[in-house]
């Protein structure tokens, strides 16, 4: 969709800001991320990156285009229909990992340490050991 079409098709969000409908739709879809992520977190090695991307997408300081990319990646993970069904052992989450890696490659600079910390707390992962400690 072009930038002009995105501007025309906007919705006023709860925060009073106008958001493109496609981002708002993906944000609604991504609301199912946390329950699904907690259910499968032990099976996927990229759970912390996915949660951090989700928290970055929800951050009001994240630019709108970055939110769009991050919410799209989170929504893809939640959607029941994707290229590789998640129940296929060993391969089911490879397409989800590819979508997330691509999203982080494009807008990963907007995923900050605070988002990663929130992801670790959600998934009950230990804080990383700092060099020199």
* pTM over cut 0.75: no
Structure tokens, 56:
């970055």
Tell me the Cα Rg of the chain. Answer: 15
Each residue's pLDDT tens digit, 5-35: 554 555 556 566 656 676 777 777 777 788 8
| Residue located via tokens 């708002």 | 24
DSSP state of 18: E
C-alpha–C-alpha distance, residues 75 and 113, integer Å: 22
Above 60 in pLDDT, residue 3?
no
What is the tens place of the pLDDT at every residue in 45-81?
899 999 999 999 999 999 999 999 999 999 888 887 6
CA distances for 10 relative to 16, 17, 53, angstroms: 12, 10, 23
DSSP bridge partners of 18: 12
């Amino acid at each position: 969709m072009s930038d002009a079409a995105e501007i025309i098709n906007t919705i006023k969000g709860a925060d009073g800001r106008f958001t493109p409908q496609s981002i708002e739709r993906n944000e609604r879809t991504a609301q199912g991320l946390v329950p699904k992520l907690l259910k499968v977190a032990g099976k996927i090695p990229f759970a912390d990156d996915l949660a951090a991307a989700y928290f970055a997408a929800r951050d009001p300081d994240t630019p709108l285009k970055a939110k769009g990319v991050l919410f799209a990646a989170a929504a893809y993970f939640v959607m029941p229909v994707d290229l590789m069904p998640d129940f296929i052992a060993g391969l089911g989450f490879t397409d989800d990992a590819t979508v997330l890696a691509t999203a982080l490659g494009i807008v990963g600079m907007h995923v900050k340490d605070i988002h990663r910390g929130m992801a670790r707390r959600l998934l009950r992962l230990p804080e990383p050991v700092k060099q020199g400690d």
